[in-house]
Amino acid sequence: MKTVSNPAVGTAHGKIILMGEHSVVYGEPAIAVPFPSVSVVATLTEKSGSITIESDYFTGELDQAPHSLDNLKAAVQVTCEALGQFASGFHMHIQSTIPPERGMGSSAAVAAAVIRSLYAHFHRDLDREQLLRLVNVSETIAHGNPSGLDAWMTSGEIPVYFQKEKPFEPLPLQMNAYLVVADTGQKGQTKDTVRDVSRLEQLYSEEARRIIRRLGALAEQAKVAIQEKNPVQLGECMKKAHSQLMTLTVSNAHLDRLVAAALYAGALGAKLTGGGRGGCMIALAADRMAAEKIAAALEHAGAEQTWIHSLGGD
């Protein structure tokens, strides 16, 4: 006999790639940070009959949801199987402030929040390992062959330094600085940019690989800057990384305009984040006042919205 709570809530948050986009595909290191300024809240209430869902993208019976939500259907199904429960008898309300297709881990965050709400609904404990396993089932449907990074970051609290096929390395970040994140308003083009970088690597292998190695070296230097709590050095790494990413053709005019606006407004560093050609960019500010000035400059330059995130030093 099942024991339920009414309502039950699960949460998760966004993530940001700080350094290492694209080069991480070729075995170079990268750094990611949790981004709680954007989040997902899943609320489950008990009801009779089939599962219903209410969200910004679809409202109705989950079985009738479009294929774009197949990953969510899978998350619910595998979680109910893990709990030994029938996938029925509740209404799911999903609220998200994570803009989709911006490289912020939206799909993983939704899955994590829903899975947590189901475990809360049935009064069952959920350890991190089980959560990551269940989220990655959903992410496999959403992205094909996920690295596990989005699942890890959207449900965790500590930045990580990571390389392909190696364990995630926690990278505590306590720096007197602020991260300003700006949404271009354009969907990211991760699949296209990854494909195009691969073509460059094949056509101009020596030069492309040199750029990829530089991006990896900049990620390593950024790790040292974080460990030494040196925002000026971290900012320099960010500026150099954006220049290399431009050479790899994964930026676009809007991203470059926002990066330039942030630097002109006094940012210590700025770069695109994620797949590129849309999505988001990030800027590093020395203090809160500087961050607010940079955010205003970014909005004036055409950013759809901005967020200011403390890096933990205050």
Domain ranges of the chain: 8-169, 173-310
Per residue in 225-276, pLDDT (tens digit) is 999 999 999 999 999 999 999 999 999 999 999 999 999 999 999 999 988 8
CATH topology of domain 8-169: Ribosomal Protein S5; domain 2 (3.30.230)
Q: What is the pLDDT of residues 69-112, one digit of tens each?
A: 999 999 999 999 999 999 999 999 999 999 988 989 999 999 99
The more confidently predicted of residues 23 and 241 is 241
In which element (H, E) is residue 115 found?
A: helix 106-121
Just give the CATH number of 173-310: 3.30.70.890
pTM recorded for the entire structure: 0.92
Q: Are strands 52-54 and 59-61 parallel, antiparallel or unpaired?
A: antiparallel
Q: What is the pLDDT of residue 203?
A: 66
* Catalytic residue annotation: 150
Q: How far apart are CA 5 and CA 221, in angstroms?
A: 48
Q: Are strands 30-46 and 8-19 parallel, antiparallel or unpaired?
A: antiparallel
Topology alike, domains 8-169 and 173-310: no
Q: Which is it for the CA torsion 123, 128, 133, 134, positive or negative?
A: positive
E strands, 138-234, are 160-162, 169-170, 178-183
Predicted confidence (pLDDT) at residue 4 exceeds the cutoff of 50 = no
Express each pLDDT in 208-224 by its tens digit: 889 999 999 999 999 99
Contact residues for 286 (Cβ-Cβ < 8 A; gap 6+): 176, 177, 178, 231, 266, 268
Task: State residue 236's pLDDT score.
Answer: 98
Average pLDDT, rounded, for the chain: 92
